Amino acid sequence: MTALAVIEVLDRDGQVRQSQRVLAWPLRIGRALDNDLTLPDPHVAPHHCLLDMDAQGLVLQALDTANGVQLGRQRVRSGERSPLPDDGRPLELVAGRTRLRLRRAGESLAPELPLEAAATRTRRFGPTLAAGTGLALALGFVTWLDSDPDTFARSLGAAALTAVMGAAIWIALWSLLSKTFTRQTAAGWHLKVFLIGSLAWMVSGTLPGLFAFSLSWPALADFGFVAGHAVAAATLYFHLLAVEPNRARLMRGVAVAAFVVGTGITLWSNHQRSDRLGSDLYLSNLFPPALRLARPVPAEDFVDGLAALQPVLDKKAKEAPSGDGGGSVDEE
């Protein structure tokens, strides 16, 4: 007999876990053994729903169920009937916590995907190799700046070992989380996200100070931590995509919330520490003078600008030092 449709049971990441041909309508779905499709889901009723054909076409009817059936944004409750759209595409519905996909005869199919050949390895692994190489060069450069020539080799080895161990632990934890939720480790994806995110984080920590020095805009360096928080939030989002690939909107919400909370905590901490929202009291980033684009300030104008600091300094001088409880100090 020619199949009228195929009903598929999907797992969390959208892969087909079970498939059954539909040879005649109606199709009964539930937890009891006398159904056409039996679902081992405790949130599914013994006779949960059925798909049947009437004058309007294919319809969904919810049976004696407390949870109903989710059809797109519509929930079909017990005893209700809802016609199923026939737009030539597969139809997804949720019974209990089980995702189902109905494919009807005559629906258009996506074109066949080609097998990934060896020529695509550069496209697949190129970004990972580029990010890893860039991160290694950046780590070596920073170590070279911070160490003496006699201790450079030892310092570089220690920094490399620390970076490799930290990356291995980070990727292993994310891979374990992905394995728990999707039954796939996605270790290659987490490695790529870690390398690109780490490189972007190092760049975000340098560029604000460079532009602030070049353009003489101290606010860029003062609030450069916002760029770092944005990179961290984006990295978190792409990690979470491998854990919950079907909830991209929720994962974006989590990443945005992390960015807002992290930025807010940093602003509050800066204000508590220095009565300022920014992180730097002055422009402390020094780069080669050739990168300086702003016009130099004459010495006379610079000295005149210092006069505005006098009232602030006088006010600070009259304040009690922090940590003494605000009490006055007896003078002899």
Within-domain flag for 116: no
Sign of the C-alpha dihedral computed for residues 183, 184, 187 and 189 taken in this order: negative
Whole-number Å distance between alpha carbons of 138 and 16: 44
| Confidence band for 332, pLDDT divided at 50, 70 and 90 | very low
What interhelical angle do 187-215 and 152-182 show, nearest 10? Answer: 130
Contacts 24+ apart (CB under 8 A), 234-240: 234/197, 234/200, 235/193, 235/194, 235/196, 235/197, 235/200, 235/201, 238/189, 238/193, 238/197, 239/174, 239/190, 239/193
Q: Is the pLDDT of residue 47 over 80?
A: yes
Q: Is 0.85 topped by the overall pTM?
A: no
Q: Of 254, 274, 294, which residue constitutes the final position of a domain?
A: 274
Does residue 85 share a domain with residue 142? no
Between residues 325 and 95, the one the model is more confident about: 95
Phi-psi region at 88: left, alpha or beta (left = phi > 0; alpha = psi -120 to 50): left
Q: Of 249, 274, 299, which residue constitutes the final position of a domain?
A: 274
Question: Domain with 96 in it: what CATH number?
Answer: 2.60.200.20
Q: Is the pLDDT of residue 78 over 70?
A: yes
Does residue 188 share a domain with residue 96? no
Q: Is the pLDDT of residue 317 over 80?
A: no
Q: Which of 59, 56, 17 is nearest to 37 (CA)?
A: 17
Q: Of 259, 274, 289, which residue constitutes the final position of a domain?
A: 274
Within-domain flag for 210: yes
Between residues 10 and 110, the one the model is more confident about: 10
Does residue 133 share a domain with residue 82? no
Q: Which of 219, 227, 221 is nearest to 209 (CA)?
A: 221
Question: What is the percentage of the chain residues whose pLDDT exceeds 90?
Answer: 38
Q: Is the pLDDT of residue 101 over 90?
A: yes
Does residue 244 share a domain with residue 135? yes
Within-domain flag for 201: yes
Does residue 136 share a domain with residue 258? yes
> How many domains in the chain?
2
For the ranges 9-23, 38-52, 307-321, which has the lowest average pLDDT? 307-321
Within-domain flag for 323: no
Does residue 172 share a domain with residue 70? no
Within-domain flag for 303: no
| Confidence band for 170, pLDDT divided at 50, 70 and 90 | very high
Does residue 50 share a domain with residue 16? yes
Does residue 234 share a domain with residue 135? yes
Q: Is the pLDDT of residue 217 over 60?
A: yes
Whole-number Å distance between alpha carbons of 250 and 191: 22
Tokens 């199919």 appear where?
Answer: 109
Within-domain flag for 259: yes
Cβ partners under 8 Å of residue 248, min gap 6: 241
Tens digits of per-residue pLDDT, 113-140? 776 554 455 566 778 888 888 888 888 8
Give the highest mean pLDDT range of 228-237, 298-307, 309-318, 321-330.
228-237
Does residue 253 share a domain with residue 141? yes
Query: Containing domain of residue 10, as a range?
Result: 5-104
Tens digits of per-residue pLDDT, 141-165? 888 877 888 888 888 899 899 989 9
Within-domain flag for 63: yes
Does residue 130 share a domain with residue 100? no
Q: What is the pLDDT of residue 331?
A: 46
Across all residues in the chain, what is the average pLDDT? 84
Does residue 156 share a domain with residue 78? no
Does residue 189 share a domain with residue 90? no
For the ranges 22-31, 48-57, 158-167, 289-298, which has the lowest average pLDDT? 289-298
Within-domain flag for 289: no
Q: What is the pLDDT of residue 115?
A: 67
